[in-house]
């Protein structure tokens, strides 16, 4: 603890230091005159004592500034782990605390950047390696260009396309470059369209049953229909992908208390409670999702951004006896 850290104003601290220095000078000068000490000696002695007192009282007033200067130079070199001491309650102490917060945020941003590069590289390498292997076999004549082989190649190209589109969407959402085109629309019509697409010939995952409940049937929502379609399509596609064959995916929409609540529930392995908040991070996938094919780990992150742009909330819940329930809540207006 520094001597004047308990004070909340640097002006008060400077005032105390000045008053203390002047008082020490006057006291030493008076004692020197009383003891018949030459004024030159008394003046030097008074100055030395005053400087010592100033150094003691002012200790720590400027040290955070010096630490911040050193830390800023290290941050310019890419080291975001440096922190400064922030024990005082004055303006310099507050600046030090804000500096530490900024350093922590920059360190987290740098970590996310490194993770993004590593994850994108991994996600790109997998389909590219598969394509390369198949193409080499075709060129070498090891495999004939039959429909099954061409379908496998098409799936890898589609996976690359989905990854590129999701990265572009995520970049636009994070930069705020995606204005919402809000308008009223019927929830039932949107859900029925999503179910038709999920049942279509191009769907991926096991064959499942759909159970749709909309209350009231005429429920409407004011939102961007294309962006919200993107959210629900992602949730339904995830539910289908993780459901067992012959399972049921429930889609529920209901309005109450000024909000419209959407639920997409499956009968899959579910998400462990400790991972339910992290599934909305970029490229994060639970252990159960890692064992399945087709996901990039970006869909839920994009869904969260879109829901938050609509001033809503999205979260994951458990489901008994097994499965996961994804919940989206949006304001009615």
pLDDT at position 265: 93
Q: What is the pLDDT of residue 269?
A: 85
pLDDT for res 329:
94
Place of tokens 């009231």: 216
**Rounded distance, CA 55 to CA 52, Å?**
5
Distances (CA, A) of 103 to 107, 189, 319: 6, 48, 40
pLDDT for position 27: 72
Q: How far apart are CA 232 and CA 238, in angstroms?
A: 10
Cα(235)–Cα(174) distance, rounded to whole angstroms? 20
What's the confidence (pLDDT) of residue 89?
A: 65
Q: Chunked in runs of 10, what are the mean pLDDT values of the chain (333 residues)?
A: 58 66 70 68 70 65 76 83 73 79 84 74 77 86 82 80 77 73 92 86 71 92 90 90 87 89 90 80 58 61 88 89 90 77
Tell me which residue has tokens 């991926």.
204
Adjacent-strand bridge partners of 325: 265, 317
Instruction: State both tokens at 134.
Output: 């198949």
End-to-end alpha-carbon separation of the chain, Å? Answer: 53
Residue with token string 């599934």: 279
Question: Do 331 and 308 meet the contact criterion of CB atoms below 8 Å apart?
Answer: no
Q: What is the pLDDT of residue 289?
A: 46
Closest CA to 237 of 295, 155, 297: 295
Residue the block writes with tokens 């996901």:
295
Residue 68 contacts residue 99 (beta carbons within 8 Å): yes
In the CATH hierarchy, which fold is given to the domain comprising 183-331? Heat Shock Protein 90 (3.30.565)
**78/218 Cα distance (integer angstroms):** 56
- Closest of 65, 73, 51 to residue 95, by C-alpha: 65
52 phi/psi in degrees, rounded to 5: -65, -40
Res 1: pLDDT: 54
CA dihedral 219, 223, 227, 230 (to 10 degrees): -20
Of 270, 254, 260, 158, the closest CA to residue 214 belongs to: 254
């Amino acid at each position: 603890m520094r001597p004047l850290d308990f004070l909340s104003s640097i002006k008060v601290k400077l005032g105390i230091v000045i008053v203390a220095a002047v008082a020490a000078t006057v006291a030493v000068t008076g004692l020197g005159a009383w003891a018949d000490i030459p004024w030159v000696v008394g003046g030097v002695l008074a100055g030395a004592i005053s400087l010592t007192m100033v150094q003691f009282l002012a200790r720590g007033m400027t040290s955070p500034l010096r630490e911040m200067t050193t830390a800023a130079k290290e941050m310019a070199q890419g080291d975001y782990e440096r922190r400064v001491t922030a024990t005082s309650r004055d303006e310099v102490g507050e600046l030090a605390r804000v500096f530490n917060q900024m350093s922590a945020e920059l360190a987290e941003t740098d970590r996310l950047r490194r993770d993004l590069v590593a994850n994108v590289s991994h996600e790109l390498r997998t389909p590219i390696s598969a394509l390369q292997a198949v193409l080499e076999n075709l060129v070498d004549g090891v495999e004939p260009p039959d429909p099954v082989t061409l379908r496998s190649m098409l799936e890898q190209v589609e996976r690359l396309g989905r990854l590129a589109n999701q990265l572009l969407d995520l970049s636009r959402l994070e930069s705020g470059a995606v204005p919402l085109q809000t308008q009223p629309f019927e929830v039932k019509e949107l859900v029925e369209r999503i179910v038709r697409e999920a049942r279509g010939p191009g769907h991926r995952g096991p064959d499942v049953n759909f159970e749709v409940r909309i209350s009231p049937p005429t429920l409407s929502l004011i939102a961007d229909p294309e962006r919200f379609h993107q959210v629900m399509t992602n949730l339904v596609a995830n539910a289908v992908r993780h459901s067992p064959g012959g399972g049921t995916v429930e889609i529920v929409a209901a309005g109450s208390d000024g909000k419209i609540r959407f639920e997409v529930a499956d009968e899959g392995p579910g998400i462990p409670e400790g991972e339910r908040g992290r599934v909305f991070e970029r490229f994060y996938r639970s252990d159960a999702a890692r064992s399945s094919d087709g996901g990039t780990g970006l869909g839920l992150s994009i869904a969260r951004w879109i829901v938050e742009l609509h001033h809503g909330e999205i979260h994951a819940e458990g489901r008994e006896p097994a499965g996961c329930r994804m919940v989206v809540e949006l304001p009615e207006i």
